[in-house]
Amino acid sequence: MPELQTRPRPVAPDPRAAWPRARALLAHAAPALAAYAAVRAVGLLVLALWAPAAGKDALHLLGGRWDSVWYQRIAEHGYGYTATLPDGGVHPDLAFFPLLPALERGLAAVTPFTVEGAGIAVAWSAGLLAAWGIFAVGARLRDRRTGVVLAALWGAYPTGFVQSMAYTETLFTACAAWSLYAVLKGRWVTAGALCVLAGLTRPTAAALIAALAVTAVTALVREHRTGDRHGLLRRNARMLLGVCLAPLGWLGYVVFVAVRQGGPFAYFDVQARWGNSIDGGRALAGFIAGLPLPAALGLCAALGLLGWLVVLCVRQRQPLPVLVYTVAVVVVSLIGSGYFGSRPRLMMPAFPLLLSPAVALAGIRTTARTAVALTFLALASAVYGAWTLLGSGPP
C-alpha cells in the first residue's frame, strides 16, 4: 500500500524571529531618526535658552497652552465643556478629535506623568514615528539618502515647533505616512486600519481617505479595462476591505457628535461655531486683500511657492495615493474659513511637498554640505519657532 501523505502541522511563528527584523528596520531608519531628533533638539534648545529671558516657562508653552489645554481637559473630564467668549461666541470641545486625549489619559494612568507631560510625551514619540514613516516613503520613492533628508526637512518645517507641542500634528502625520507606505507596499488592510486612527485624530483624515479611495477606484478601472473582469472584486478583496475601513474613524466621531448633540449635522455645526467651514477660499482672499501691499505681495509669493511645490510633485510623477493625499491636504487647508495663521500648521502633514527639495539636497556632492544646509534650516526654524511661542503662540 502506498504510504499515506499527511499534511505537515503548521508551525507557530517564533516571536524571537521578529526581533532581528525589527532591529534591522530600526538600523535602516536610524540616520533619519537621528537627523530628525537633532533638528527638533535644536528647536527645543533655542526655546529653552530664550524663554527664561522672556520670563516664561518653555515646558508650559509646549504642553499647557492653546489647543493643548482643550485636549488635556478632555483627557481629564471627557467631553462636555463649552467656552463662551466675550463677544458671545460659543466654542464646544467637541471640535477636538478623541485619539490624542485618549492616549494622554492612558499614559498618565500608567506612568508618573501628568496629563500635560503625557501629551508632550505622546507628541514627541509620535514625531519619531512620523519621521520614520516619512523616511520610509522617501526611501521607497527615491533612495535612503533622500528619505533621511526628507525626514530632517519635515522637522525643520517653518512651523515645525508645533511638532514639539502637545498637539495632534505628529500623531496624524505618523498615521498618514505609514498608511501611505502601506498602500505603496500593497498592504491595504494595514493602510485602512491606520487611516481609522488618522480619522480619530484630525478632520484632515478626509485627505487620506480620498487618497485610498481614488487609488483603489483607479486600480479597479484600469484592471477592468484590460478585459480581465472575471473575479475582479474577489481578486481585490483586501484592497476593498482597506478602503471600507479607511473612513470608519472619521465617520465614527462624526456620528458620535451627531448622537450626543441630537442632530445629523451636529459636527459641522460645532466646527462652524469655531469659525471653521468650507468657503471655497473667500476668507483667504479677503485676508490677503486687507493686508498692506508689501505683505500681500509677500503672501502671494508664498502661495506661489506652494503652488510650484505642488507642480513639482506632479512632475516627479509621485504615486497616485501620495499625490492625491498631498493635494487634498493643501486644498482643504486653503479653502476653509478659519484663521489664516493656522493654515501653515494645517499643511504640515503634507510632507510629500518636501520631496523635491529633499532630492535636491540629497544630490549635493558631499554629505558635509548637505548637513550644513540642514543645520541652517534647523536654526532658522528654531528661531522662528521660539519667537512665535514667546509671542502670539501657535494659531
Say if residue 381's pLDDT is above 80: yes
Say if residue 293's pLDDT is above 90: no
In this structure, is residue 20 part of a structural domain? no
In this structure, is residue 364 part of a structural domain? no
pLDDT number for residue 6: 36
Q: Which three cell numbers stand for residue 87?
A: 463677544
In this structure, is residue 40 part of a structural domain? yes
pLDDT number for residue 16: 60
pLDDT number for residue 1: 36
Average pLDDT over residues 339-362: 90
Q: Which domain holds residue 245?
A: 31-356+378-388
Say if residue 18's pLDDT is above 70: no
Average pLDDT over residues 244-261: 96
The mean predicted confidence, pLDDT, of the chain is 89
Say if residue 15's pLDDT is above 60: no
Q: Which of 8-22, 25-39, 312-326, 357-371 has the lowest mean pLDDT?
A: 8-22
Per-residue pLDDT tens for 183-221?
999 999 999 999 999 999 999 999 999 999 999 999 988
- Contact indicator for 122, 100 with CB cutoff of 8 Å: yes
In this structure, is residue 365 part of a structural domain? no
Percent pLDDT > 70 in the chain is 94
pLDDT number for residue 5: 38
Per-residue pLDDT tens for 357-369?
999 999 988 888 9
pLDDT number for residue 299: 86
pLDDT number for residue 310: 94
Percent pLDDT > 90 in the chain is 67
pLDDT number for residue 223: 83
In this structure, is residue 25 part of a structural domain? no
pTM for the full predicted model: 0.92
- Contact indicator for 195, 207 with CB cutoff of 8 Å: no
Say if residue 7's pLDDT is above 60: no
In this structure, is residue 226 part of a structural domain? yes
- Contact indicator for 394, 345 with CB cutoff of 8 Å: yes
pLDDT band, residue 17 (cuts 50/70/90): low
Which DSSP string corresponds to 88-155? S-EEEGGGS-SHHHHHHHHHHHHSS--HHHHHHHHHHHHHHHHHHHHHHHHHHHT-HHHHHHHHHHHH
Question: Rounded to whole angstroms, how far apart are CA atoms 221 and 2?
Answer: 51
Say if residue 10's pLDDT is above 50: no
Say if residue 20's pLDDT is above 60: yes
Per-residue pLDDT tens for 113-138?
999 999 999 999 999 999 999 999 99
In this structure, is residue 23 part of a structural domain? no
In this structure, is residue 17 part of a structural domain? no
Question: Rounded to whole angstroms, how far apart are CA atoms 182 and 189?
Answer: 8
Average pLDDT over residues 154-174: 95
Say if residue 232's pLDDT is above 70: yes
The phi, psi pair for 12, rounded to 5°, reads -65, 140
- b/e map 262-282, b = 16+ CB within 10 Å: eeeebbeebbeebebeeeeee
Average pLDDT over residues 152-156: 96
Average pLDDT over residues 373-382: 95
Say if residue 19's pLDDT is above 80: no
Alpha helices per DSSP H over the chain: 18-50, 58-63, 67-77, 99-110, 115-141, 144-155, 169-184, 188-199, 205-225, 232-235, 237-245, 248-261, 266-273, 282-289, 293-315, 320-334, 343-347, 355-362, 367-389
Q: Which of 319-323, 330-334, 377-381 has the lowest mean pLDDT?
A: 330-334
Question: Rounded to whole angstroms, how far apart are CA atoms 117 and 110?
Answer: 13
Say if residue 13's pLDDT is above 70: no
- Give the chain's domain count: 1
Question: Rounded to whole angstroms, how far apart are CA atoms 87 and 83?
Answer: 11
Question: Rounded to whole angstroms, how far apart are CA atoms 248 and 196?
Answer: 6
